[in-house]
Amino acid sequence: MKTITILILTLLIPAASFETCKAASKRPNILFIIADDQSPFDFKFYNTRSVMNAPVLEKMASEGMVIDGAYQMGSWVGGVCTASRHMIMTGRTLWHVPDKSGRIMNPHVNNSKMVPPNLIKYTLPAVFNKAGYDTMRTCKNGNSYEAANKLFEVRRDGTRRGGTDEGGSAWHAEQVLDYLDDRESTKDTDPFFIYFGFSHPHDVRDGKPDLLAKYGAVNHNNKEAFPPANAKQPPLPVNYLPKHPFDNSHMNVRDEVAVKGVWGRRDELTIRNEIGRQFACSENIDIQIGRVLKKLEAMGEIDNTYIIYTADHGMAIGRHGLQGKQNLYDHTWRIPFIVKGPGVKAGARAKGNIFLLDVLSAACDLAGIKAPATSEGISFKPVIEGKKSAVRDTLYGVYCGGGRPGSRCVKKGDWKLIKYEVEKTGMKHTQLFNLKDNPQEFMKEHHVSAVKALTGAEPGPEQINLATHPKYSNKLKEMESVLLSEMRRHDDPYRFWNQPDDGLPVPTFREKVKNKRQNRPKKNK
């Protein structure tokens, strides 16, 4: 009898072990969610002053990890989305990614050592397709790496910025839900990578009527009048200014002067209404994410899915007297970033010091896939596992979509340097901030009594630009050196007035996409 019992147990143990191994070997799904034009400071888990309602993402933040130091590296074009999304797809740094066909905004774009000619084979969808993942994408049209977008097995793109379910964010959610329904009906058990992108809260920020009413906002269409005041509107940002104090190298770009509902204005009525519209669009995104997460839960997939939420870049909307995304202040350079999934500790926060371009390497790491050799990103899996607090010490940022060389920033520790130069106008400017003491990047203009009366802020005496403060001359020199080092390390083709030229050739660029029809021979009449 004892022998029989032992035999039965011996037979059962391998079976149980097999089932355990099988469960453990099941590869995780990845749901990558990206909004269009969204500052981290819109959310309560980054900014306690915010009044935006986002219960789904707030719950996700409490059940996963919030990364405080997440950044988009920048852009060589006014449409910051383009460079940002190219970096996501390739895992490469700013000066090492392609641009739209026919346009040369990155002077290195035709240099095969900087931009590999076969890069398309090593983009995010290509890598996950090869690894046996089912890949699906929904996002806006344009401003992205089209050659890579085509590689998703299921692609349902469309720009949806309307104030209805049919013409707004719900459309993108429907594409994901339809895809999940198809998987369910066909009993598809392959792991999936879903690129779930939204066209909002990018302007034109037409929100749904009920959500607009919640934030006291209107879809303002009359250029000759101001939007009405409403007590429900969100307050002005604490670092609001009625005007940026100097030419930041691109003051006339579309986002700054031509956005419908704003038209270059920075008055209180306009900015508070526009923030209300922004929040209405963002809350709708939150609702749509909730629908998809509910579906994953019903399918039994939620516990085996890494969910990443972020944005392609931040947005000013009145902060520092700016409206758009063509700047390197933290409200625009930084991005929201939440990760929830297997092994991620609930309620965790980490510095991170990650870039969007790290997503490819990290996603591969989470999925047990070898990242392509072309990727220059760093996997932040050790961060979300709680093994590391950050993946890099120094962060480098770029904006040169307008006058060149434009603007650059570098952050190391608590200190941040921003430099500006436009060769055509002769504009030169330097900013130095201690972000620990001055997280809002206040300048002397924020100390003006009329501004303080509007924002309720009371900046301290050293909450200013410290670049000309004698006390910090050594820190300025140190940060200037760090910036030059980062520019060299990232193959930045430009130099500022007080930097060595390093023997670099004069960069050439072509802003307009070449018209394919213009070189065709004219037909005889």
- What residue ranges define each of the domains in the chain, with the CATH number in brackets? 27-396 (3.40.720.10), 401-489 (no CATH)
What is the pLDDT at residue 270? 98
Tokens of 164: 């209805």
> For the stretch 504-523, what's the b/e string if a residue is b when 16 or more beta carbons lie within 10 angstroms of its beta carbon?
eeebebeeeeeeeeeeeeee
pLDDT category of residue 143 using cuts at 50, 70 and 90? confident
For residue 349, the cross-strand partners are: 66
| Cβ-based burial of 159 (10 A; exposed 0-12, middle 13-18, buried ≥19) | middle
Cα gap 89→123, rounded to integer Å: 5
Residues 337-391: pLDDT tens digits?
999 999 999 999 999 999 999 999 999 999 999 999 999 999 999 999 999 999 9
Residues 18-48: pLDDT tens digits?
333 334 468 999 999 999 999 999 999 999 9
Rounded to a whole number of angstroms, the CA Rg of the chain reads 24
1, pLDDT greater than 70: no
The closest alpha carbon to 295, from 185, 410, 442, 158, belongs to 185
Cα gap 340→360, rounded to integer Å: 17
The average pLDDT across 493-499 equals 98
Which run of H or of E encompasses 398?
strand 394-399
The average pLDDT across 426-446 equals 98
The average pLDDT across 253-258 equals 94
For residue 70, the cross-strand partners are: 354
What is the pLDDT at residue 102? 74
16, pLDDT greater than 90: no
460, pLDDT greater than 80: yes
Tokens of 1: 């009898």
Q: Within a 13 Å sphere around the CA of 182, how many CA atoms are in the beta-carbon half?
A: 11
Selected residue with higher pLDDT from 7 and 304 = 304
For residue 310, the cross-strand partners are: 34, 337
Q: Write the DSSP string, 264-311.
A: T--SHHHHHHHHHHHHHHHHHHHHHHHHHHHHHHHTT-GGGEEEEEEE
Residue position matching structure tokens 């401003």: 143
The closest alpha carbon to 140, from 121, 126, 155, 118, belongs to 155
Contact between 203 and 263 under an 8 Å Cβ cutoff? The reply is no
What is the pLDDT at residue 119? 97
The closest alpha carbon to 357, from 146, 30, 123, belongs to 123
Q: How many residues does the structure list for the chain? A: 525
Give Cα separations from 367 to 67, 305, 329, 379, 473 (angstroms): 20, 10, 34, 12, 47
pLDDT category of residue 415 using cuts at 50, 70 and 90? very high
168, pLDDT greater than 70: yes
Give Cα separations from 483 to 76, 395, 415 (angstroms): 17, 9, 12
Which run of H or of E encompasses 439?
none
Which of the 8 DSSP states describes residue 325? S
Q: Write the DSSP string, 375-393.
A: ------HHHHTTS-SBS-S
The closest alpha carbon to 460, from 489, 436, 479, 482, belongs to 436
What is the pLDDT at residue 514? 52
Query: HEC states along 195-264?
Result: EEEEEEECCCCCCCHHHHHHCCCCCCCCCCCCCCCCCCCCCCCCCECCCCCCCCCCCCCHHHHCCCCCCC
What is the pLDDT at residue 320? 98
Cα gap 247→20, rounded to integer Å: 62
The closest alpha carbon to 145, from 324, 312, 32, belongs to 312
Cα gap 19→465, rounded to integer Å: 61
